[in-house]
Amino acid sequence: MKKTACNDIHTRLGAKMIPFAGFKMPVEYSGINDEHIAVRQKAGIFDISHMGEFRVKGPEAAAYLQFLTSNDIYSLSDGAVHYSCMPNGKGGIIDDLMVYRFDRETFMLVVNAANIEKDWKWCVQHAGNYGIEPGRELYNASDEISLLAVQGPLALKIIRKLTDEPVEEMKSNTVKKIDIAGIGDAVFSITGYTGAGGCEIYVPHNDGPGLWNAVSEAGKEFGLKPAGLGARDTLRLEAGLCLYGNDIDETTSPIEAGLGWITKFVNNNEFIDRDFLLKQKSEGPARKLVRFVVREKGIPRQHYKIAGNDGNIIGRVTSGTLSPMMKTGIGMGYVHTGFEKEGTEINILIRNKSVRADVVKPPIYKAGKHIQSR
């Protein structure tokens, strides 16, 4: 089992460690709820070095990625980042990912840890058509990079103490190389997977511990806390963001998953599965992914059935938890088309009991506030 460069730090901090995607990873330190609230209100630091990074370069890099991914690569400018997915040729999703553009011939793909090997094989499979050679123009840098995410409303104030760059002025979905905490040319981006704002910092593998310690020291006055995979999951769920393997996978299409906004049917974007997905968009899918807030006592969990008010089964839960901020059950799931509109009442079958819930628009945390006040 692999370990991140910061493994000894996590152990020293008393983190609960679990196997995840082939890595030994911290799931929690002071407790999921405590870490979650810290990120929502102040800031948290996550070691997410298990994620995968592929570098793509050369004159055909953009054309290659335009075919491989569903979003419009040519809409990216230098220093821009966007969310995308790789269709699998069968209407499903190989993986969802972030695409970074440094310049017109230099890109980086950030992929899910559990899918690194699968994604790499898929990328290699299609590289030859564009004269892209694995190991040269296409390079798997996953084992060479430490990646830390600093998330929360105070995150950039903390980072500002460690760099001369005006990071607080950077816009969402942008990237630049900066010197930070004595580390030169760190890749610094503003994206996030928590709905709380913040940044990601990519440095050489061996610089991970030094960066963690520097950020932790700088964050003391701001209430920064280490946060694990548990809080990362509850935070992304409150934000209504998809998790690969739960809410999207090889059997779900981006149209069904509500990811039409990253599926761009523009000219010169002949990506994999374009015709199938365009037809599905025009005809409408048979099911759609929704977010919901439970109105009664009960915690929804993956695979729980969803029913309409007539008792008929209309779908299933893909992700669910007790919201640390709202103190009520929240979740995501696929339902038959016609039940996806905001405000639709659905029923989650929890231990053979039907529990009422309302469909909401993301982010769940903000959208659910009016439901609690009813």
Q: What angle do CA 302, 306, 309 make, to 5 degrees?
A: 160
Whether 281 is in a domain gets the answer no
Report if residue 252 sits inside a domain: no
Angle between helices 229-238 and 32-41 (to 10 degrees): 50
**130 CB contacts (<8 Å, ≥6 apart)?**
60, 61, 63, 64, 67
For residue 154, being part of any structural domain is answered with yes
Domain check: are 45 and 155 in the same one?
yes
- Is 174's pLDDT higher than 60? yes
Question: How many whole angstroms separate alpha carbon 195 and alpha carbon 323?
Answer: 14
The verdict on 215 and 302 lying in the same domain is no
Question: Residue 372: is its pLDDT beyond 60?
Answer: no
Confidence at residue 374, expressed as pLDDT on a 0 to 100 scale: 47
Q: Is the pLDDT of residue 17 over 90?
A: yes
Residue 366: the pLDDT is: 86
Q: What are the pLDDT digits (tens) for 31-79?
A: 999 999 999 999 999 999 999 999 999 999 999 999 999 999 999 999 9
- Are 226 and 293 found together in one domain? no
Mean pLDDT within 227-247: 98
Average pLDDT over residues 180-199: 97
Query: Contact, 213 vs 9, CB < 8 A?
Result: yes
The confidence score (pLDDT) of residue 352 equals 83
Cα–Cα distance for residue pair 164/167, rounded to 1 Å: 8
Q: What global pTM score does this model have?
A: 0.96
Residue 6 is part of a domain; what is its CATH number? 3.30.1360.120
Residue 373 is encoded by which pair of tokens? 């006040």
Q: Which of 238, 273, 306 is the last residue of a domain?
A: 238
| Mean residue pLDDT across the chain | 97
Give percent above pLDDT 90 in the chain: 97
Average pLDDT over residues 236-263: 98
Residue 257, classified by CB atoms within 10 Å of its CB into exposed (0-12), middle (13-18) or buried (19+), is buried
**Residue 46 parent element (H or E):** strand 44-47
224, 45 contact by CB (below 8 A): yes
- Asked if pLDDT for residue 368 goes beyond 80, the answer is no
Listed residue (178, 106, 175, 114) closest to 138, CA to CA: 106
> Looking at residue 371, what is its pLDDT?
56
Task: Taking the CA atoms of 360, 363, 364 and 368 in sequence, report the sign of the dihedral they define.
Answer: negative
Check pLDDT > 90 for residue 367. no
Residue 317 lies inside a defined structural domain of this protein:
yes
Number of domains, the chain: 2
Q: Which domain holds residue 358?
A: 286-372
